[in-house]
Chains A and B, each alone.
Chain A
Amino acid sequence: MQAKLSVVALSVAAAFALAACGQKEEPKPVAAPAAPAAPIAKPEIVVKLGHAAPMTGPQAHLGKDNENGATLAIEELNAKGLEIGGAKVKFELLAEDDQADPKQGSIVAQKLVDAKVNGVIGHLNSGTTIPASKLYADAGIPQISGSATNPKYTQQGFKTAFRVMANDVQQGKALGEFAAKQGVKTVAVVDDRTAYGQGLADEFKKAAEAAGLKVVASEFTNDKATDFKAILTKIKSKKAELVFFGGMDAQGGPMAKQMKELGIKAKFLGGDGVCTPEFMKLGGEAAEGNYCSLPGMPLEKLAKGPEFKDKFVKKFGTEIQLYAPYVYDAVMVMADSMKRADSVDPAKYLPAIGQTKYDGLTAMIEFDEFGDLKGGAISVYQYKGGKLEYVETLGGGAVATAQAEVKEAVAEVKDAAKAVAGAAAEAGKDAVKAGAEAVKSAAEATKAAVEKK
């Protein structure tokens, strides 16, 4: 491990050295040709955004996906040529590998702080994001994570911590209620003992029990395991009808497969960590017909979703794994806040992040007082024919239910109006009065429903 660290340290040092060289050389070629062409050369400022995610280890595929999302956003911003505080802004990504390890997460966080980044995008895992967020908070550097869903991240009282994704309280609750609707009575819960897996499993357990389900087994694994037969055998003996897994796809896929091998007929359910193409690849047939959830709305249903997907695939030659769209939005929100504050100084643009009202790729992004996404929706998907098929959107659905209520109220008004018309035809005074009252009450109901919305 020590050897590994020093190798990382060396390579990072080398990267820094290169970056430093690059910076020193940059102003010269820019200034020289620009001076004769335009007499008032616009100053250029470099905004360094830190990005941290696992680039090695079992979750490296997700880490690279996040980095690709950030890279895409930064390229677009640079192509657009943003101007902040009268200067042309050039964004630069300072990508670090946190190995999905909380210890390493804090080390790279310190590195980013020392490098005086203007903001941080990340980390990927809740387990690394939470300890790192303290370092960023102490240094006053704004942090937006596109994937850390553990509620604790934004509940520590740090003004610098934001996320552009629904948290696990919302997700666990939606999944618990969804499980209850599946007609099962007993569930087993497995988590991978990471901040994310454990947090999600705990929230799921609470919601499932509240919905009248019985949790018959709580088992644990870790985020590097490949063999789950021992715990699955135990689950089999407890006769659970549904197995909920709080963890990532690299474990979830083989787990679903091994369930089938052991002759377990229970359904499999998981959160965003297993809602990936990778999960289906690894789970094979065993994934078929089971469900998982993702915060937000499906990419195909988003206005700019398909366009983003095309751009992504064209640029990186690989499918979007999971969080890239959220990370993309996180970068955009940060840039948007800098623009509104007209400053790239963390202290100056931090308040602007809180007031964000940005029509992003994944959602209309607004933050509550904790830095959580307002009204985060949760969508449920089914693995069908090797693809993730959208089933429904839960939670955040306050909007949807309000809409339904308004519709109902409108129908009522219409009925009442009809009654009035009928009454008028009869010319009965009382009938008209009653009709008018009905209209009035219906209108009130409409008003109430609209207000609720």
Chain B
Amino acid sequence: MDIFLQQIINGLVQGSIYALVALGYTMVYGIMGLINFAHGEVVMIGTLVTITVAGTMIKAGMPVVLAGFAGLSASVLVCMALGWGLERIAYRPLRNAPRLTPLITAIGMSIVLQNLAMMIWGRNYMTFPPLLPKMDFEVAGANFTAVQLIIVLVSSLTMGGLLLLVYRTKLGMAMRATSQNPAVASLMGVNINRVIAAAFVIGSALGALAGVMVGTYYEIAHYQMGFMLGLKAFTAAVLGGIGNLAGAMLGGVLLGIIEALGAGYIGDLTGGFLGSHYQDIFAFVVLIIVLMFKPSGLFGEKTGDRA
């Protein structure tokens, strides 16, 4: 039983990370119907910037707390600028192009950012400076750390904040209006360009936050780390219903738990026929089953055939 609990904790933490990244995908998709494949790379750059800034400051003998905050702020700022730049350079000129075009551009930007990061930070793995105190807890035979707790907390708080932003502020109202019909919204006096840019900037800031969380958790970073993470988060967003904030959160946590349980039990359930390397397949089988019965995801709203 303690194993089950441990697997749930493993899944919950992993899932919270997916959720945090998935929020960025879903935010942009909800407004423009664009899947921003470069979002995983934004997360990666968030991690690497934190390493550079916080690592240098710690080396210079500054207190860890200060270095941590500086690293976090720097990475949020850099990623916000990056998100704005991406939208301005890569996506805005294609706003009225067929939907496949910005999708391909997104993949292209993802490759560009990866290679740029490789040129700046090199090919080697980097270690993330320990920004949070190391504390281990044990409850009912299951181990968890302070970092894990913080990750789950941060990702729930972030989602709460986002919901407030979308449903309780003027900007949020403008976002919802733009998502329903950009043309009409702009006729009603909503500055579409500003709203979309804001969505990118906020999404990227969340990406930076996710990057810092991933970095603190695994203490390892690499210029390619965003690819797989982005793919999984995208899956989580689809599972929960892409475009829906609560759905992204739920999809992320669900995906994380399914993966952990899959890896933990699939071998025993199939009598060793399928091993733990099938954990990804396990997750995707669940995704397919969900999409068969609810094609727009668990929380997704029905949309017309836009693609």
Contact = CB atoms under 8 A, between A and B. Distances in A.
A55 B228 CA distance: 18
Given A261-B143, A262-B143, A226 B220 contact: yes
A56 B122 CA distance: 10
B222 A64 contact: no
Contact of A261 (B14, B108, B136): B136
Interface centre among B11, B123, B143, B261 (most CB of A within 10 A): B123
Interface in B271-303: 275-277, 279
A63 B225 CA distance: 18
Contacts of A236: 3, 6
Interface string A49-72: 000000111101101100000000
A61 B108 CA distance: 24
A432 interface: no
A309 interface: no
Interface residues of A, number: 39
B107 A3 contact: yes
A278 B118 contact: no
Contacts of A61: 123-125
A42 B140 CA distance: 80
Say whether chain A's binding surface is mostly helix, strand, loop, or mixed.
helix
B277 A220 contact: yes
B272 to A, nearest CB: 8
A282 interface: yes
B111 A4 contact: yes
Contacts of B279: 230
Given A3-B108, A254-B220, A263-B143, A233 B10 contact: yes
Contacts of B219: 254, 257, 282, 284
Interface in A214-248: 218-222, 224, 226-227, 229-231, 233-234, 236-237
A281 B257 CA distance: 29
A220 B275 contact: yes
A295 interface: no
A253 interface: yes
Nearest to A277: B124
A263 B138 contact: yes
B218 to A, nearest CB: 5
Nearest to B260: A230
B127 A224 contact: no
B125 A282 contact: yes
Contacts of B7: 230, 233
A278 B125 CA distance: 7
Which 9 pairs of residues, A with B, have the shortest CB-CB distance?
Answer: A230-B263, A60-B123, A220-B277, A229-B10, A230-B260, A61-B124, A237-B3, A263-B143, A233-B6
Interface of A: 3-4, 7, 55-58, 60-61, 63-64, 193, 218-222, 224, 226-227, 229-231, 233-234, 236-237, 249-250, 253-254, 257, 261-263, 278, 281-282, 284
